[in-house]
Amino acid sequence: MTARPISAERYRKPASAAVALALLLAMVVAAGCIGCMLSPTGCIEPGYVADRDITIVKVTPDGSLSWYKVIDTGGDDSADDIIATNDSGFVLSARLSDPNRQFGRYPYLIKLSKDGNFVWNRSIYEFNCESAALVKNQNGEIITVSGNLLCRFDPNGELISNITLNAVNSGDAITITNSGEIIIAGIAEEIRPITKEEFIAGGRSEGFWEQLCGNISPSANPYCGGTRVEIYAVATKVDSNDHVVWSRSLKQYGFTQSPVSIIELKDNQGYLVKVINQSLQWNSVRLDINGNFINLTPELYVDREGNKVLQHPINNTSPVITQTEGGGFISAGFPGSTQFLEAFLYHRGTAGNLRIVKISPEGYQEWYKPVPGVTANRVKKIIQTSDGGYAILCENDKFSSTK
């Protein structure tokens, strides 16, 4: 774990950033149209330039629209996460376009009030922090994890600390416990020597192996035949002082993909990690309070007691789904060609194409509603708010062209 020193030069923030973003953060109602079609791997027409906006949507407990805001710098803007703050507002992590700066797109934290009004924004690139997964603790501190960087900010977005976590190469999901400890689920890497069997299986001859390694003892140069990087899922606990308490590998259980979420179970029962196995099947992996493996279940929907809730995905839900305080589920997405909602569209969105669906604790649909006026084609996250309503973080790619 490496602490990064903070110099006055690195701490300096661009003076114009807050003013520029405040002018661009406005309520927008816009109609879309079908444009450049994309494949899952990219645009199939030449000349495509990414041109995304960020949209935050707030709805009431029954799914009625309260407000929505669009963040548009005029370039390619993307969002990573959103959390509710202690004052019922919101903080989101984003990458905003700035053609006047060297790298074009920079990480920001952006604060909105409970009514969707702009409060502040912070460029966090100067602190070696990234736009990433977010949590907050009981003191209102905002904590981000991206790659192996963990950064803490106070409720006003001022940096408290930033560290490098040696136990994690890529932290992709984060939660905070009732005692203020941070649990990170992500990917770790292990570099090891290639064995003779792997060397030959890769199409090289045994004679070539002997030429490279035959006269070398393994202890003298274990990497004579080359190296192999193995990637595996990992869960790591960090205490309130940013010290690693434990780190647990899920490699031996066949999980080599990055987890998408981790939650703390109630009544001190441990943690639940949602991750895909090598057969591309969803699993909920249960760990005890010390991060030790207990069991897994091939179920996507598990409550905070670790019990299976839904036996299979429910119609009209998307992969973006969150359990509500009442034990049900809330999901957002776009109508597609199947009975399920899509989290992402490969074409321009149209006004009103966003849908929200509420599922009961028993797995039955309670309501299904369109969100009027909002134009988006990607849903990133949905959270429940303190008033019982919901906030949805979206993106809208307008698919601009250089032609």
Res 29: pLDDT: 30
Res 308: pLDDT: 52
Res 103: pLDDT: 65
Of all residues in the chain, the percent with pLDDT exceeding 70 is 80
Give the three-state DSSP class for 91.
Answer: strand
pLDDT digits (tens, 9 = 90+) for 302-317: 555 445 555 555 667 8
- Alpha-helical runs (H) found in 74-194: none
Closest to 71 in 3D by CA, of 116, 15, 101: 116
Highest mean pLDDT among 137-146, 166-175, 249-258: 137-146
Name the one residue in this structure whose structure tokens are 């009961």.
360
Name the one residue in this structure whose structure tokens are 């036996």.
311
Res 301: pLDDT: 55
Res 9: pLDDT: 34
Domains and CATH numbers, the chain: 2-349+356-401 (2.130.10.10)
pLDDT digits (tens, 9 = 90+) for 143-169: 988 878 889 999 999 999 888 887 666
Res 126: pLDDT: 83
CA distance linking residue 301 with residue 311, whole number of Å: 8
pLDDT digits (tens, 9 = 90+) for 184-197: 888 888 888 888 88
Give the three-state DSSP class for 347.
Answer: coil
HEC per residue, 242-274 = CCEEEEEECHHHCCCCCCCEEEECCCCCCEEEE
Closest to 69 in 3D by CA, of 382, 376, 400, 358: 376
Mean pLDDT of the chain: 78
pTM of the model: 0.76
Per the CB < 8 A criterion, the answer to whether 48 and 398 are in contact is: no
pLDDT digits (tens, 9 = 90+) for 71-128: 998 888 999 999 999 999 999 999 998 777 666 788 999 999 999 999 999 988 888 8
Res 298: pLDDT: 64
Highest mean pLDDT among 32-46, 302-316, 369-383: 369-383
Confidence of residue 27 (pLDDT cuts 50, 70, 90): very low
Lowest mean pLDDT among 63-67, 117-121, 135-139, 175-179: 175-179
CA distance linking residue 64 with residue 127, whole number of Å: 39
Confidence of residue 48 (pLDDT cuts 50, 70, 90): low
Q: What is the mean pLDDT of residues 242-256?
A: 86
Res 17: pLDDT: 38
Q: Please give the structure tokens belonging to residue 293.
A: 């493996």
Res 167: pLDDT: 67
- At a CB cut-off of 8 Å and minimum separation 6, what does 134 contact? 80, 81, 82, 83, 91, 92, 93, 142, 143, 144, 174
pLDDT digits (tens, 9 = 90+) for 221-230: 778 888 888 8
Per the CB < 8 A criterion, the answer to whether 390 and 356 are in contact is: yes
Q: Please give the structure tokens belonging to residue 217.
A: 């003892």
